[in-house]
Structure 1
Amino acid sequence: MEKLNIPLSVPNLSKDIVPMIEECIETGWVSTGGRFITEFEEKVANYVGAEKAVGVQSGSAGLHVAYRVMGVEAGDEVICPTATFIATVNPMMYIGALPVFMDCDDTLNMDLEKLEEFLMNNGQWTMDNGQEVLMNKNSGNKIKAICIVHVFGNPIDMVKVMEIAEKYKLKVIEDSAESLGSYYTKDGEKQAHTGTLGDIGVYSFNANKILTTGGGGMVVAKDKNILDKVRFLSVQAKTDPLYFTHDEIGYNYRLTNVASAFGVSQMNQLEGFIENKIKNYNLYKEAIKDIDGLEILPFNEDTRANYWFYSIMVDKDKYGIDRDELLVKLNECGIQSRPLWGLMHDQKPLKKYEAYKIEKARHYVDNLLNIPCSTNLTSEQVGAVVGKLKRFSNV
């Protein structure tokens, strides 16, 4: 069998980074201080339309601090999707919070109708320290927040999310790890970016993301005081940095200058990356519509998604083989492909937590396949993938 080499999603780096790395080395600013940190934070903030942004070591670190500054405490419940990567959930577990898992809809994002139904049927108002708070009737725990995920860069309906959150007095954490560059539109005009509509938003710059610093993340928030608290906690919560006074428990979560130099370079290329993503998605879409039994998932209307991942659904009866057999065949010939993550409520450490009417997510986890989508993917490589998708059909 012909062996190709088409990865799923890899970094797209430019040599313009070299002088910046040399500057880091020559000046000695290679750690958590240096001009590139400030420059990268400013570039991200300006790009997404936020007043400021705070760089952190990873998206997970950003979420950990985000849960904390949103007032999530041990024993509080946070509603989150079951169809997500476990990095959405792990940081709340560090605090001792309790996830409540919600199903997805056909966009792969959280099912907001079920979310509202759950809150209506299972929420009960109670008084706590003179404040009216929502309690889960099933568990007796306070429901503190909703963590939504813009899955694969596809923006969820944040207007609806915020309406629900306001009604039930819940904080909203936007896990925007996958969606840097995605924004909403109205009448074709650009509106708000993902990450900027909730109370706090977190982006990830892991190696497979649309923009990478090797690792790293960024936090934005509506309230400047909240963002100041994020920065404070991310540098070990130094109340007096000269005399090393610490009045709270903090974290070593600061983004490094070297990583930020990569970020500065990548931000200069981001729109070009997205342009190539959209072009290749449309090439796939046009070709796959003629392959019986395969369907490429769309991105939401009234948005300009970043098209981070391309997902196809495999109908065994029409295509001739199931998703798992296609997955094996593609990987054997050098086309890296992956299924949807294992659902969160199925994970061994998370099985004991509440999951509400999980139905549609099971269908997607059984039949969805992600195909190559790197920002430097060529049209020739798209053609090679499509050729194999046609060839492997047993109908």
Structure 2
Amino acid sequence: MMNQFNTPLLVEKLRNVLPKERDFIALHEPVFRGNEWEYVKECIDTSWVSSVGKYVDLFEEKLAEYTGVKKAVAVVNGTAALHVSLKLVGVEQGDEVLIPALTFIATANAVVYTGAVPHFVDSEHKTLGLDPRKLRDYLSEISEMKNGFCVNKKTGRRIKAVVPMHTFGHPVNLDLLTELCAEYNIELVEDAAESLGSYYKGIHTGNVGKISALSFNGNKVITTGGGGAILTNDEELGKLAKHITTTAKVPHKWEFNHDMVAFNYRMPNINAALGCAQLEKLPDYLDKKRALTNVYIEELEGFNGISVFKEPEFAKSNYWLNALVLDDGFEQYRDEILTETNNNGIMTRPAWTLMHQLPMFKDNPKMELHVAESLQNKLINIPSSVFLGDHYE
């Protein structure tokens, strides 16, 4: 007998959590409740709106202080941050980089920008992110060590790096992944784009990998409009990240000398001003998002066929995007739920199309991806904006 799912009741229960006065609830709206206008107006009044100005330096300092890293470098977006991060750990043309098949396209794009090949690996149900145990077994089968490097026996290419992505803000198991990277001499680059405010065993994401990337897109926990950042605890690497993202210009009062091929990935001062104001409110925003999640969990407790995804026990998540997870046997209701919620003014969306299912990556190397393919059919993101938690703290 087919499992029966009560979609109208699910819509009703979601509506119980969400503001009654709104006909449409977006997935994740930005919130501006602090000094945004004051700081941005100062940029306009003083004409310091471009890539130089006090707010760029201040944003980098405050971001490093909040996350606990030694160096933060503000850039134009999260993809640029990840691109440069991969370059700085030595990813080169013809290398392979291990990334989850279940990720946003930026992870794969950044690998391709370096000339390397995305190599897709599976996820785990517990974190929604890369599965380090399964990856260890896979590498033991398909790789060998040559001259100190991990090499794919099938392609002959060096496997230079692995990029775990903290899905919807939930940290992956970084201890196991760190052990694996040490064993196979693979660089760990954290795609922390979605995880500002998330902690792995009390340590902010982005601290475990040699280098990591954040995003401040308009739908993130805090936003700079567009924007991203590179995080690292290697101060020399941080200095190089700043240099290579600002056209590698050698400091001088008037001359334009550059000492390497680099990128114009600078964050404008006016965007950094927005970020400074947003960062001041981040602790409050995180409290509201956690309160919203708890209400979702309470409202849907015991609901037949679906549950709210909860952070792993070793993590404290920012709950950037809340996710519903369909039980085994209820996958066929995913599209019905998406249709009915959106028709009723509740914006929902499925997980991303898996990377290996996209036409440009269909022939890329990949492991068996059973869990990622299963999660793709079970995940539904629901409204998670900060303001939705206003009445639940």
> TM-score scaled by structure 2?
0.91
> Deviation string for 1:10-45 (max 9, x for gaps)?
101125211211210121110001111111111110
Match of 2:341 in 1: 330
Q: CA deviation at 1:378?
A: 4.3
Of all paired residues, the percent bearing the same amino acid is 37
Match of 2:308 among 275, 296, 299: 296
Q: Secondary structure at the match of 1:268?
A: helix
Matched, 1:266 2:278: yes
Matched, 1:172 2:188: yes
Counting only pairs closer than 5 Å after superposition, residues 374-385 of structure 1 correspond to structure 2 as 374-378=385-389
Match of 1:26 among 30, 37, 45: 45
Match of 2:244 in 1: 233
Matched, 1:183 2:199: yes
Contact 1:292–1:318 (CA under 8 A) maintained in structure 2: no
Matched, 1:214 2:225: yes
Q: Secondary structure at the match of 1:228?
A: helix
Contact 1:316–1:322 (CA under 8 A) maintained in structure 2: no
Matched, 1:276 2:288: yes
Letter of the 1:338 counterpart:
R
Change (3 A) 1:378 1:197: closer
Q: CA deviation at 1:315?
A: 4.3
Contact 1:315–1:322 (CA under 8 A) maintained in structure 2: no
Question: Structure 1 stretch 29-38 or stretch 296-305: which is displaced more?
Answer: 296-305
Match of 1:287 in 2: 299
Matched, 1:119 2:139: yes
Contact 1:9–1:209 (CA under 8 A) maintained in structure 2: yes
Matched, 1:157 2:157: no
Contact 2:133–2:176 (CA under 8 A) maintained in structure 1: no
Contact 2:70–2:234 (CA under 8 A) maintained in structure 1: no
Q: CA deviation at 1:293?
A: 1.2
Q: CA deviation at 1:316?
A: 8.4
Q: Following the alignment from structure 1 to structure 2, what is the Cα–Cα distance between the partners of residues 318 and 88?
A: 30
Q: Following the alignment from structure 1 to structure 2, what is the Cα–Cα distance between the partners of residues 62 and 38?
A: 17
Contact 1:316–1:323 (CA under 8 A) maintained in structure 2: no
Q: Secondary structure at the match of 1:172?
A: strand
Q: Secondary structure at the match of 1:322?
A: helix
Q: CA deviation at 1:341?
A: 0.4
Contact 1:112–1:161 (CA under 8 A) maintained in structure 2: yes
Match of 1:368 in 2: 379
Any unmatched runs of 5+ in structure 1? 186-190, 383-395
Q: Secondary structure at the match of 1:53?
A: strand
Deviating above 3 A after TM superposition, structure 1's stretches of 4 or more consecutive aligned residues are 239-242, 315-319
Q: Following the alignment from structure 1 to structure 2, what is the Cα–Cα distance between the partners of residues 346 and 308?
A: 25
Match of 2:156 in 1: 140
Any unmatched runs of 5+ in structure 2? 1-7, 9-19
Q: Following the alignment from structure 2 to structure 1, what is the Cα–Cα distance between the partners of residues 96 and 48?
A: 41
Contact 2:71–2:233 (CA under 8 A) maintained in structure 1: no
Q: Secondary structure at the match of 2:62?
A: helix
Match of 2:70 among 40, 46, 51: 51
Match of 2:14 in 1: none
Number of residue-to-residue matches in the alignment? 371
Q: CA deviation at 1:246?
A: 2.4
Change (3 A) 1:363 1:318: closer
Match of 1:42 in 2: 61
> TM-score scaled by structure 1?
0.90
Q: Following the alignment from structure 1 to structure 2, what is the Cα–Cα distance between the partners of residues 317 and 133?
A: 43
Q: Following the alignment from structure 2 to structure 1, what is the Cα–Cα distance between the partners of residues 192 and 383?
A: 21
Please tell me the root mean square deviation across aligned C-alpha atoms, in Å: 1.8
Match of 1:86 in 2: 105
Match of 1:386 in 2: none
Q: Following the alignment from structure 2 to structure 1, what is the Cα–Cα distance between the partners of residues 113 and 328?
A: 40
Letter of the 1:260 counterpart:
A
Letter of the 2:267 counterpart:
L
Q: Secondary structure at the match of 1:26?
A: helix
Letter of the 2:146 counterpart:
T
Letter of the 1:12 counterpart:
V
Match of 1:198 in 2: 209
Match of 2:26 in 1: 7
